[in-house]
Amino acid sequence: MSNIRIDGSALWADLMETARFGGTEKGGIRRLTLTEEDRQVRDWFAAACTRLGCVVTVDTLGNMFARRRGQDETLPPLTMGSHLDTQPTGGKFDGILGVLGGLAVLRALEESGHVTRHPIELINWTNEEGSRFSPPMMCSGAYAGAFTEQEVLDKHDRAGIRFGDALDAIGYRGERPCRATPVAAYFELHIEQGPILEVENRVIGAVTGVQGMRWYEVTIGGKDAHAGSTPMTLRSDALLAAATMIGAVSDIARAHAPQALGTVGLIENRPNSSNVVPSETFFTVDLRHPDDGIVALMEQELRARFKAIAETMGVTLAIRPIWDAPAVPFDPRCVAMVSDAAAEAGFESMKIVSGPGHDAAYMARVAPTAMIFVPCRDGLSHNESESITEAEAEAGANVLLGALLRADRAF
């Protein structure tokens, strides 16, 4: 369909260069959203896109859009993107590959002189990870109408800092309204963050959708007491109750194996003293399954188990749902474009469902959408040791380019 190809060496150089912003001693990245490190990589990204002749705009929640003109500017843009923020101990590729792979697509088009029918927009979404401000994907969600702008601006991190204030502090509150405009299609390149492609010896995954997921914040209330003088039978131990509940999360997920997942990833204990019975424990719960009905059933079981544990152990219980993301099917036409582009590039792709959430899940509400996965070593992600090869990055970006050119003809 086209002899335009990605410059894999330039893409890899971009990945390594941007890893400087928030780089860790173990080779990963700590680049939480709306921090100084985030500002630095945003400045780099804006400059790189401008050098390619793109016009960069920023919306009121900090989402960045780099636009390359098309032959017909009245057509809605073809879009691609991901995110540049990371987990506290994140890797070099989660989200970042999608943004810089999109930059590599723009570079290939510019160097070849090819002008698409549609304008093209490359997007860097704010706060995809949700590790500082919860829930994740808030700003692509606001773009798609799942959250209001004010809801997002008023979120606070665990240190009490307001999202809107942090956005202003790095100078990335733009003037473009954060709402969906007509979009021809959206494609997102990403590492798989799981082991399936590697096990199946495939370089490309054509992602058919994203599984359903729900997040909760749980607070257990007990009574602080002296560890040396309070009998075990008279204790109201919040941490012990929480530990029992955390075990129940795993039990519930295992009961719906192999596709169900249950995770407690954050825990805080008070007063957190070695000789005081804990009076309050806070933790998060993450439930996932491709079937929304099973996710709902898991929630019912979780609430029943937690209530029984709280009553037995003499503690109070508060469960606050903070995020409900139903399962998302992607557009079959766009998925086929990914598969066809992979075949043209010489790769045998496989259909795959995404376990993690992505900005593409919200974009699917407003535009035909698909994702492209490439393998990551040992399926490891959200980890400083996250690793892919230069060849895999180049392959994914070439498939992204091929899918985009197909969409340019089809839409």
Question: Each residue of 114-125: pLDDT tens digit?
Answer: 999 999 999 999
Task: Please write the tens of the pLDDT for every residue from 351-404.
Answer: 999 988 899 999 999 999 999 999 999 999 999 999 999 999 999 999 999 999
Tens digit of each residue's pLDDT (9 = 90 or more) over 157-209: 999 999 999 999 999 999 999 999 999 999 999 999 999 999 999 999 999 99
d(CA 396, CA 374): 6
Amino acid at residue number 185: A
Distance between CA 342 and CA 336 in Å, rounded?
Answer: 10
**Helix 8-18 crosses helix 390-410 at what angle (to 10 degrees)?**
110
339: closest CA among 307, 385, 373, 364? 373
Please name which of 353, 397, 6 lies closest in space to residue 187, comparing C-alpha atoms. Answer: 397
Q: Are 399 and 204 spatial neighbours (Cβ–Cβ below 8 Å)?
A: yes
Average pLDDT over residues 72-93: 97
pLDDT at 324: 92
Global pTM value: 0.85
Asked if residue 258 has a cis previous peptide bond (ω within 30° of 0), the answer is: yes
Per-residue pLDDT of 32-41, as tens digits, reads 999 999 999 9
Question: Which residues lie closer than 8 Å to 201 by C-beta, 6 or more apart?
Answer: none
Six-digit token pair at 164?
Answer: 């809107």
Distance CA 351, CA 306 (A): 37
10: pLDDT strictly greater than 70: yes
165, with CB counted inside 10 A (0-12, 13-18, 19+), is exposed
On the question of a cis peptide bond just before residue 135, with omega within 30 degrees of 0, the verdict is yes
In the chain, % of residues over pLDDT 70? 100
Rounded to an integer, what distance in angstroms lies between the CA atom of residue 120 and that of residue 408?
9
* 179 C-beta neighbours (distance < 10 Å), count: 13
**What are the structural domain ranges in the chain?**
8-211+327-410, 212-325
**CATH top-level class of 8-211+327-410:** alpha beta
For residue 192 the two structure tokens come to 């798989």
What's the gap between Cα 396 and its chain centre? 18
Q: Is 300's pLDDT higher than 90?
A: yes
pLDDT at residue 2 is higher than 80 = no
Closest CA to 243 of 269, 212, 217, 213: 269
Radius of gyration in angstroms for the set of CA atoms belonging to the chain, rounded to a whole number: 22
Peptide bond into 271 cis (omega under 30): yes
Beta-strand runs (E) in 245-279:
261-263, 267-270, 276-277
**What's residue 372's pLDDT?**
98
> What is the band of 325 on the pLDDT scale with cuts at 50, 70, 90?
confident
Q: Cα dist. 373→6, 316, 376 in Å?
A: 17, 43, 9
**Cα angle, residue 172 at apex, residues 168 and 177 outer, rounded to 5°:** 105
Would you identify the CATH topology of the domain 212-325? Alpha-Beta Plaits (3.30.70)
